[in-house]
């Protein structure tokens, strides 16, 4: 599979920024899963995944990666 040119010639800061963006999107999806679990109709239908923990950890990781990417972009 051929890698797209914008990824092939991207800087390290851009690749880290894309990873941070992916983590923030995953955090949003986990937040929506937690919201859905919290508002369930059947109180006994408990899910398996710890959505709150997943959302918190991916948010932290995404924010750290984005901060690293922004510092790299500002340095040039």
Each residue of 21-30: pLDDT tens digit?
999 999 999 9
Q: What DSSP string runs through 16-28?
A: HHHHHHHHHHHHH
DSSP letter, residue 10: -
- The helix or strand, by DSSP H or E, that contains position 71, with its residue range, turns out to be helix 51-75
**pLDDT for 21:** 97
**pLDDT for 47:** 81
Four-point Cα dihedral 28, 58, 3, 76, nearest 10 = 100
Q: Higher confidence at residue 45 or residue 59?
A: 59
Each residue of 4-43: pLDDT tens digit?
777 777 788 989 999 999 999 999 999 999 999 888 888 8
- For the chain, the distance separating the N- and C-terminal CA atoms, rounded to the nearest angstrom, is 30
């Amino acid at each position: 599979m051929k890698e797209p040119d914008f990824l092939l010639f991207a800087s390290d800061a851009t690749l880290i920024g894309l990873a941070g963006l992916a983590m923030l999107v995953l955090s949003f999806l986990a937040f929506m899963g937690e919201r859905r679990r919290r508002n369930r109709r059947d109180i006994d239908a408990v899910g398996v995944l710890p959505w709150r923990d997943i959302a918190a950890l991916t948010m932290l990781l995404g924010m750290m990666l984005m901060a690293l990417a922004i510092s790299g972009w500002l340095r040039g």
